[in-house]
Amino acid sequence: MEPSLLVSRIQDALKICNNSSIPKFVGFLRPEETALVGAAVANYNLKHLLFGGYENAERVFFGVFPDWCEEYEEQFPITALTFTFRKADTLSHRDFLGSFMSLGITRESVGDILIEEGRAVAFFTKEVAPYVKEQTSKIGKVGVQIQEGYTGVLPGRSAFAEVSHTVASARLDCVVAALAGVSRNTAAEFIEQKLVTLNSVCCEKATATLKNSDNLSIRTKGKFIIDSIDEQTKKGRLKIKARKYI
């Protein structure tokens, strides 16, 4: 979506919510699009939230809520579908997305697609989820069974690898460089290219300061939970302890 159009849609949602006291939503947004949210909401004193159907989703909805609204996440027009198939069959993100696009729905109607052996969970707007469920019997050439919602841990969300590094500071560019295994200049380029999200929001400030429990995503390099970043070494550097989703 063109940045100007997206900002206009977010501002329209804010105005409608402010005038009518009903929740309004715009999505699914790519990580780089979430960077536009801050400027769009600056002049409105309304509760707003980014949510993609589960915690730390990559593709998210923008939601704005009136004062009376509670349990914000339950209000989002998002439905999960679980696809099960034989573990002997291998399906990729491209296989799923290609099958969904062949139904004639837009990319903005599809959120994250999480895949493991024999199972995948995909998130959709509520209006298209029933159509996807009704029209899909195969992904690629592989037969699938489809259920609404999901149970248990989401694919790819239960396994972690512990990582630790030392950095000069808790600045975003320093931490990205350490966790991605790249130079600080390259880390700054990742941030400038909108490849880095912090707590589900695209972050373009290399000087942003990370803190304990932050969630950091570096496109093509992985997603991380920062467990601690406040312990100093004898030389005054900071120790990072984090978990990487695997």
Tell me the pLDDT of the chain (246 aa) as tens digits. Answer: 777 888 899 999 999 999 999 999 998 998 888 878 877 887 788 899 999 999 888 899 999 999 898 888 999 999 999 999 999 999 999 999 999 999 999 999 999 999 999 999 999 999 999 999 999 999 999 999 999 999 988 997 667 889 999 999 999 999 999 999 999 999 999 999 989 988 878 888 999 999 999 999 998 898 899 999 989 998 889 999 999 987
pTM of the shown model: 0.76
- Distance in angstroms (rounded) separating the CA atoms of residues 26 and 30: 12
Q: What is the CATH number of domain 160-245?
A: 3.10.290.10
pLDDT score, position 36: 81
Q: Under a CB-based contact definition with an 8 Å cutoff, are residues 5 and 13 in contact?
A: no
127 is written with which tokens? 């209006």
Q: Which residues pair with 198 in a beta bridge?
A: 201, 216
Q: Look at residue 186 in the predicted model and tell me its pLDDT.
A: 96
What confidence score (pLDDT) does residue 7 get?
87
CATH fold match for the domains 78-148 and 160-245: no
3.30.1300.10, 3.30.70.330, 1.10.3720.10, 3.10.129.10: which CATH number matches 78-148? 3.30.70.330
Q: Domain ranges in the chain?
A: 3-75, 78-148, 160-245
CATH of 3-75, one of 3.30.70.920, 3.10.20.70, 3.30.1370.160, 3.20.20.450: 3.30.1370.160
